[in-house]
Structure 1
Amino acid sequence: MTVLILTTGTHGDIAPFIGLGRRLKESGYDVAIATYEAFSEQVRAGGCEFRRLTGDPSRLGVAEQGRLKKPGPGDTLRTVRWLKDIARHVDELSGDLVAAARQGADILLCCGLTTFYGYHLAKALGIPSMGLALQPLHPTGEFPPPLGTPSLGRRGNHALGRLMFTTGLHPWRSSPRFCRELGVPALTTAQTLRQTARERWPVHYGFSPTVAPRPADWRPGIEVVGYWWPHEEPGWRPPRELADFLDAGPAPVRVGLGSGGDPRDREEISALLAAALRKAGVRGIVQSGWAGLHATGDDLLTIGEAPHHWLFPRTAAVVHHVGAGTTAAALRAGVPAVTLPTFGDAPFWARRLVALGASPGYVPLNQADPDRLARLIRAAVDQPRYRERSRGLATALAAEDGAARTVETVRRLLGG
């Protein structure tokens, strides 16, 4: 039987679903992943069939949201415009989603921006489906939607979460037009939320309940199952320059923004990060990422791609943009984090890391300065409690198996 995973986003959004696809393959299913051409090699390396969605993940507006500019009254308006641009992008993908499903599928796993589109598509095809996500997006009173919003109290948090669905600005967006084209009831985003609740449509959140426990006010059918770890290429070897740098002194601090940051700000961000590392008096590895960051010096090394599961355990601390995937990788490695949240779910994860004792603090990227960042780095490296707590969390995560729980639900939905 064929499992089709529909997913969009940046590398950190896609990699967990490739890892889940690999586990489904190992459980005896044929697995196809519909996503952007940019990730075709990773999909195939994970042993899954690639099905193409139109688009370029580097043009989803992530960089623009991560500009190194001071906060101002226009921030909310910019975020709303970005969400509307994302909604238009999903509309443009609708034909590709249908084409991918018609190549053959017995169940749809609906992820990211495609979630409600995939739900309606499965209805039209008469096959089962389930939702998958990396961030806690259902309304709850326990915290606000993970979009950088401060807590408004239990009632306010829940109301704001529902409002996101009502306005159609939620990442899980429905389209009555798409529904009509499929021949299923034309439901808005809010109506789709209510229908999936009545049906107890299964949704799995792929993060650890140790890191963010399941809210008690979520409906039955919504589960926090644990992380889906990315597929790891066997036998990866570091470039000689990286291996030599690691061997040449104490464990360094890794710094990177992944898909965050903006190439237009690369010089200013690079200078800020390099100055912070020097002020902290630590050796540093700077990963260039989408922004093209770089740093030079006797105790600094700039590198490109290196698997997080290999690199992070060899560091003293990790400075990152708090994407869901990078956050999980640092926790799995058992190393403390200093975070530079930009937008979206990043502030949510930054606050969780502090609350868990795995981070001495965070500073929004557009408010960062070398002195403030250096103090946080030194605290992460010097104060044993952050490393001890990080190691304890890594031990807890090692005992969880989110993929196994999702595979079991897929088996049940397919009648196995």
Structure 2
Amino acid sequence: MKIMISTFGTHGDVQPFLALGQGLHTAGHTVAVCTSASYRPTIEALGLTYAPMSNTLLDLTQALLRGGAEAYGALPQIFPAMRAMLEEEWQAAQSFAPDLLVYHPKMLGSYHLAEKLGISLAMALPLPFYTPTRAFPNPFLAWLRLGGWANWASFRLMGLTSAMYRGMTNRFRTATLGLPPLRSFANLLVTRAGHPIPVLYPYSPHLLPVPADFPPHVHVTGTWFLEPTTPWVPPAPLATFLEAGPPPVYVGFGSMGGYGGLRRAVIVLEALKLAGQRGVLARGWGGLVPATLPETVFALDEAPHDWLFPQTAAVVHHGGSGTTAAGLRAGRPTIICPYVADQPFWGRVVAERGLGPPPIPQHRFTAERLAAAIRVAVSDQGMRERAAALGVQIRAEDGVGPAVALLEREQARHRASQRA
């Protein structure tokens, strides 16, 4: 089977899809990944085909997250870059000619390409955003305390957000694909024939149990972790730092918050000092670039989470789904300092499960609050035991395996319907 995976975004958005591609390739399928050009070396190192897409929109996204004048200059370029990305995905699909398309919903062209090519498709997202349930509100409304029907209704409200791009996608449908336009609030979770599109949610059901009202075409598979092809060797200064004292606290905010990074770094250093803990700071897009560092803190550009997190006492981060999963897989208490989107949701889930202190939103991010949370995370024995137990469960999961089997069944069903 030829499968094209289309995804866009930061490392956390893309890596789970690379893990899926890795699993599909191991199962004997031919896999192409269509995403920003900066990920090409990683894709090809996994033995997968790279389906070209420019880096323009990703570069603009980085500029927006850095804030200031750079963000202001990037804003007018966003929609033209999105329109170009639609065309690039179409070119990639024509060249690769897949039998099945698996896509992140940020890839606005995928639904329409599958219709044009007459192929099956499945949507994947490590967040239960698109399936209404009474169990919890839509993750982008995590601060609300609703219940029952109101939780369910919140998903319908957020589901209307795709309508803001309908003019762009309709022009793509008509001018490029030769398809009829869709109405403004058309349901993109069903095919034009009315069949529900399979939805794969690659997060751990041990962290967030599957709601009883999820329909049969929605699958919580377990997290898709990319398995390293070669052992990672840390630079000597990092190895020396880790060996020189007790496990440090990891602090990193991924792609979030480049603007104001120095202020955050000062807060983090003060919090570690107040809590009496050593620390590892990951610079990333988050801009944690302190002018000077005490001997008790090490700053790094990057290190694989699956290697680093098991060597820490706790992890502090923004609450992206990938970083959250990696910290919990390592069995470490988690302190989430959310910015936007799904991050407050994962912060709430972690705290309610007793796997970390209550989240600290960025507008409440102070050295005193962070220090207090760190003290709890490293000293609360019950919290540490719960995090360790969940880590054992997550490490025992095979999220990719069930996803591969589901996609194989979907393609078999599609072929049978084509023959009927």
TM-score, structure 1 length as denominator? 0.89
Q: Hey, what does 1:30 align to over in structure 2?
A: 30
Taking a change above 3 Å as real, the CA distance of residues 25 and 246 of structure 1, as seen in their structure-2 partners, is same
Partner of 2:181: 186
Preserved CA contact (<8 Å) 2:278 2:297: yes
1:258 matched to which residue of 2? 254
For residues 60 and 324 of structure 1, what CA distance do their matches in structure 2 show?
A: 22
- Corresponding residue of 1:224: 220
Corresponding residue for residue 104 of structure 2:
111
> Residues 273 and 203 of structure 1: is their aligned pair in 2 closer, same or farther, counting only changes over 3 Å?
same
Match for 1:310 among 307, 311, 315? 307
What letter matches 1:14 in structure 2? V
CA RMSD of aligned residues (A): 2.7
Report 1:152-231 matches (<5 A).
152-168=146-162, 175-180=169-174, 181-188=176-183, 190-193=185-188, 195-196=190-191, 198-231=194-227
**Percent of matched pairs sharing the same residue:** 37
1:335 is the counterpart of 2:328 = no
Within 5 A, what are the aligned runs for 1:5-404? 5-56=5-56, 58-59=58-59, 61=61, 64=64, 89-104=81-96, 105-114=98-107, 117-138=109-130, 139-151=132-144, 152-168=146-162, 175-180=169-174, 181-188=176-183, 190-193=185-188, 195-196=190-191, 198-262=194-258, 264-295=259-290, 296-404=293-401
Given that 2:83 and 2:168 are in contact with CA atoms closer than 8 Å, whether structure 1 keeps it comes out as no
| More deviation, 244-253/223-232 | 223-232
**Cα distance in 1 for residues equivalent to 2:206 and 2:168:** 31
**Structure 2: which amino acid aligns with 1:248?**
A
Are the structure 2 counterparts of residues 161 and 89 from structure 1 closer, same or farther at C-alpha, using a change threshold of 3 Å? farther
Deviation at 1:322, TM superposition (A): 0.6
Q: Deviations over 1:106-155 (max 9, x none)?
A: 211111301x5212211110111111111111133322222244334333
Can you give the 5+ residue segments of structure 1 that lack an aligned partner in the other structure? Answer: 69-77
Q: Secondary structure at the match of 1:213?
A: coil
Moved more, 145-154 or 243-252: 145-154
Q: How many residues align?
A: 402
Structure 1 position 366, deviation (Å) = 2.6
Closer/same/farther in 2, CA of residues 348 and 60 from structure 1, 3 Å limit: farther
Pair 67,17 (structure 1): closer, same or farther in 2 beyond 3 Å = same
Instruction: Give the superposition deviation at 1:217.
Output: 2.9
Residues 41-99 of structure 1, C-alpha deviation per residue, up to 9 Å, x if partnerless? 1111222111122234654546756879xxxxxxxxx9xxx9x9977654331101101
Give the gaps of 5 or more residues in structure 2. 414-420
Change (3 A) 1:298 1:170: farther
8 A contact 2:331–2:389 mirrored in 1: yes
Distance 2:197 2:381 in 1: 44
* Cα distance in 2, alignment partners of residues 60 and 326 from structure 1: 22
Matches of 2:197 and 2:165 in 1, distance apart?
Answer: 17
Q: Please say if residues 51 and 100 of structure 1, whose CA atoms lie closer than 8 Å, have aligned partners that are also in contact.
A: yes
Output the CA distance in 1 between the equivalents of 2:345 and 2:391: 20
Amino acid at match of 1:352: V
- 2: CA distance between counterparts of 1:169 and 1:276? 43
Structure 2 contact 354–383 (Cα < 8 Å) conserved? yes
For residues 219 and 314 of structure 1, what CA distance do their matches in structure 2 show? 40
Structure-2 change in CA distance of 1:41 and 1:194 (3 Å): closer
Looking at structure 2, the residues matched to 14 and 300 of structure 1 have their Cα atoms a distance apart, in angstroms, of 29
Distance 1:62 1:321 in 2: 16
- Cα distance, 1:30 vs. partner? 1.2
CA distance in structure 2 between the aligned counterparts of 1:318 and 1:217, rounded to whole angstroms: 33
Measured after TM superposition, the shift of residue 8 of structure 1 is: 0.3
